[in-house]
Amino acid sequence: MTYIVNGKSFDEEPGPGQCLRTFLRSLGHYGVKKGCDAGDCGACTVWLDGNPIHSCITPAFRADGREVTTIEGMGSPGNLHPMQRQFRDAPGFQCGFCTAGMIMTSATLTEAQKEDLPRALKGNLCRCTGYRGIEDAVKGVVGVETAAPGKAVGTSVSAPAANDVVTGRAEFTMDTRMEGMLHLKVLHSPHAHARIVSIDKTAALAVPGVHRVYTWEDVPRRRFTTAIHTDHLVDPDDTYILDKTVRFVGQRVVAVLADTVGAAEEGCRKVVVEYETMPAVFDPEEAMADGAPQLHGADDPFALDPVHNILLEIHTHIGDVDAGFAAADVIHEGTYSSPRVQHAHLETHGSIAWMENGRLNVRTSSQSPSIAKVKLAHLFALRPDQLRVFCKRVGGGFGGKQEVISEDLAALATLDTGRPVCFEYTREEEFTTASPRHPMTLTVKLGAKADGTLTAFQVRNVSNTGAYGNHGGETLYAGGSAVMIYRCPNKKYDAYSVYTNTVPSGALRGYGMTQPAYAVESAMHELALALHIDPLELRRRNIVRPGDPLVAMDDGPDDVMFSEDGLAKCIDLVDAAMTRTADEPSPGPGWLVGTGVASSLHETAPPTEHISEAWVTLGDDLVYELAVGTVEFGEGTSTAHVQIAANQLGTTPSRIRLVQSDTDRTGFDTGAFASAGLFVSGNAVLRAANAVRDRILEFAAAHTGVHLVMCSMDDEVVVCGDRRVPLAELVALARSRGIRFTAARKAYGSPRSVTSNTQGFRVAVHRVTGEIRILYSVHATDAAVVINPAQVRGQVEGGIAQGIGFTLTENFHVDANGVMVNPNFRNYRIPTYADIPRTDVLLVNSADSFGPMRSKGMAECCINPVAPALANALHDATGVRYRALPLTPERIYSRLGEKQSAPTTA
């Protein structure tokens, strides 16, 4: 067959049944991405004779004799296609994994289609941006700015990898080929709870191309936790690489290693496993009952109460809640539940392992290569010098890649065979085996005086940690922070993290705060109605203020400081915006209109020890090399780190060369999660840059005889009094004396501050169908000093979009046997362009006490108030309180005839 790809003609025979996506990638066109392999996400979009198509559902033979164009053929970094330039300059991307497909589609749109983007972009999904940046890119809106030397902070400079992202040249985890690479696939358990009696490998090993079949007997029998934290003791070591007992549908049973993906999959189908099924339990309340099936039992030394499947429970109080309720004029009590939510990052989990000079190398899609290295060294008894773990660009994370769930099997197979091994998740495996958000059921009981003063605040939280305890304890503690937002002398928090025979839960944006924030802020809205007080006014009367203790679960000392009144300012900004837009028309007859607000506080770093080290070196080429272990997966830390360094070194971002996320080339970094990529790693970058700047200035002062206070950096010169000394001259002189301008500095996640957010919505609800339309969205955030305004706006918009999906569209269906029945984008349905409104993002004018350049990380916290604000708006519109998410039209319609329940009076 003859193919023309990016203008070059050649003869090639694709494999039988091969799709165009895999064919193009086999030819080295890695800009063609895999997000779904079902035609749902658009990441694989290419042009066929100038028309955009999804290459994952297009047979390769259909391109015979036709012109195929990939993102690499549109333009190069030095000669961008106009649409590539627009996506760079908007900016229209965050992680960048969807960007190639989005550009390929957008570049073909007519002017009429650009006016109807909800329809025109319905075949392209983005999980990061919230779509506003994409809309700006398509319409040619420029948001990127150029920074003057030493003035990078506060400027919307472009991401360091922007040109590579928009041209498809940015390398993601799987964008490589290695000679002799083998492929690994996994056979998953069909049972929710079973003991493996026997495994017959014979037929699988007979499949042509199959090299190995690994079972629980072939792997190191060492317990570990897949969760990533610096202090591994906060998570239970209750997991094996492969186990002889399976505890959820989808658990790994056998790993097959073969020459091709197809052979490995066929090998999995040929493995014969005999199971002894055991009783299963899926509901955490039932799992805690006497006589319930035990998931781990006496075999788990880490669970607090393995007999009742309780990993961890918390019982703590401040004051006397019984007395507080007795003193209340009004009491509200309600139970609120939130479901599993999948991260749905478009790049699935995956790792590539190989041996080089006797060392194991692992290239992986992870939020923390440093801790992944620690875990792999533990599992395989390796010394640190025998192992390198690193990341290229990562295609989204949101907490889902704060786990070690692909690296272990790839490393196992490479250590065994000595050959390169690739292990890449399918989209279905993401849904059925990767760790979603914890389902939680929270009962909130509030007591208040007639004037709205809270007298008692009680929360009971039951969290479903699934079959294993990764993140089960830490998210439970994080949830307690939801009660610190309001002043109350009497607080009580009871919480349980419970094992069930379901997919293990994990970390997801908001990390244990999103679910309690939904419950607490919904309850506050209901309490306000019972008190006949405006919901915003009730919040104003009870929120913590600077100088108040941040009392959550106890009144003991901690390292969290609250010194800025950002929360009150957020509430005021949203209140003013909602009032200003109150007269906007409703959609028409048949629609009920309501408004809702919610707030949240979020700590700027996790309570577990977070560490980062940064190195800065001035090279002979007068470019500063900045090495930091933080991974870039769309949260924007790379851009912020470069800006901080450029600002302190008196230069421009173009003179900062970034090296990151490689355990051979960077210092230890706990990882990019909990906004620590800016708060902790940013402080390390700041300190290292300051140290190098001071060394250069001290050397220049000594060289010129000018007092140090008269010296300053000015891009490629140092100003010493009246003299302007070229930096090149100082570097050469320092070299001649054996001096290098280099420094390493560490930072730690303590002390911490808090970030404030308030979300407001105006919605319309159709009284017949239950459809919700968001008429207006506004979000105020206390980002303190803003490093990059465009990136902050993008992070907020992305968080809101995920929150809308969590609340309205995403439904993780698990049947009576524990099987996830909708493991694809088409049926799970993350938000599309049409689902997400433009949000007014309002920034509070403040400054942080501890963050780098007095800034705060914003990628995490913005999701927390979204669900309760939407639920409160729905309540306001319909008079009906819906306490179980997601708020799908069928759930809304089924209860629209109900009346508002009466408040409880003490």
Q: What is the pLDDT of residues 786-813, one digit of tens each?
A: 999 999 999 999 999 999 999 999 999 9
**C-alpha to C-alpha distances, 117 to 48, 111, 113, 829, nearest whole angstrom:** 22, 10, 6, 18
> What's the first-to-final CA gap in the chain, in angstroms?
81
Give the mean pLDDT of 693-721: 97
8-state DSSP, 584 = P
Distance (Å, whole) CA 779 – CA 662: 36
The whole-number pLDDT of residue 231 equals: 87
Structure token pair of residue 770: 């239950």
Strand partners, 595: 762
Q: Where are the beta strands (DSSP E) in 819-866?
A: 839-843
CB–CB of 515/345 below 8 Å?
A: no
Strand, helix or coil for residue 608: coil
What are 556-566's pLDDT values in tens digits? Answer: 888 888 877 89
- Closest C-alpha to 774, from 798, 796, 807: 807
The whole-number pLDDT of residue 560 equals: 87
Give the mean pLDDT of 778-784: 96
Task: Identify the weakest region by mean pLDDT among 253-262, 415-424, 519-528, 546-555.
Answer: 546-555
Give the mean pLDDT of 694-717: 97
Give the mean pLDDT of 575-598: 94
Categorize the per-residue pLDDT at 608 as very low, low, confident or very high, splitting at 50, 70 and 90: confident
Q: Do strands 194-200 and 245-246 pair parallel, antiparallel, or not at all (unpaired)?
A: antiparallel
Any idea which residue has 């524990």 for tokens?
818
CB–CB of 500/532 below 8 Å?
A: no
pLDDT above 70 as % of the chain:
99
Categorize the per-residue pLDDT at 904 as very low, low, confident or very high, splitting at 50, 70 and 90: low
Task: Give the full edge-to-edge strand order of the sheet including 350-356.
Answer: 210-214, 252-258, 182-188, 421-424, 350-356, 359-364, 387-390
- Closest C-alpha to 471, from 443, 435, 514, 501: 435
Sign of the CA dihedral running 136, 138, 141, 144: positive
Distance (Å, whole) CA 102 – CA 84: 10
The whole-number pLDDT of residue 298 equals: 79
**C-alpha to C-alpha distances, 814 to 55, 246, 282, 818, nearest whole angstrom:** 31, 17, 10, 6
The whole-number pLDDT of residue 778 equals: 98
Structure token pair of residue 189: 């358990």
What are 71-102's pLDDT values in tens digits? Answer: 999 999 999 999 999 999 999 999 999 999 99
The whole-number pLDDT of residue 317 equals: 94
The whole-number pLDDT of residue 606 equals: 86
Categorize the per-residue pLDDT at 229 as very low, low, confident or very high, splitting at 50, 70 and 90: very high
Give the chain's mean pLDDT: 96
What are 735-774's pLDDT values in tens digits? Answer: 999 999 999 999 999 999 999 999 999 999 999 999 999 9
Give the mean pLDDT of 264-268: 98
Any idea which residue has 């930091």 for tokens?
628
Query: What are the helix (H) ranges across 459-546?
Result: 472-479, 514-531, 535-542
Give the gyration radius of the chain's Cα atoms: 28
The whole-number pLDDT of residue 490 equals: 97
The whole-number pLDDT of residue 367 equals: 97
Distance (Å, whole) CA 390 – CA 386: 14
Structure token pair of residue 657: 């060369």
- Closest C-alpha to 845, from 757, 756, 783, 778: 783
- Tell me, yes or no, if the pTM score tops 0.75: yes
Q: Is the pLDDT of residue 902 over 50?
A: no
Distance (Å, whole) CA 167 – CA 614: 29
Categorize the per-residue pLDDT at 899 as very low, low, confident or very high, splitting at 50, 70 and 90: low
Give the mean pLDDT of 692-711: 98
Q: Is the pLDDT of residue 881 over 70?
A: yes
Task: Give the full edge-to-edge strand order of the sheet including 772-781.
Answer: 591-603, 754-766, 772-781, 839-843
Element spanning 351, H or E: strand 350-356
Query: Which distant-in-sequence residues (6+ apart) come within 8 Å of 583 by Cβ?
Result: none
Higher pLDDT, 114 or 561: 114
CB–CB of 437/341 below 8 Å?
A: yes
The whole-number pLDDT of residue 859 equals: 87
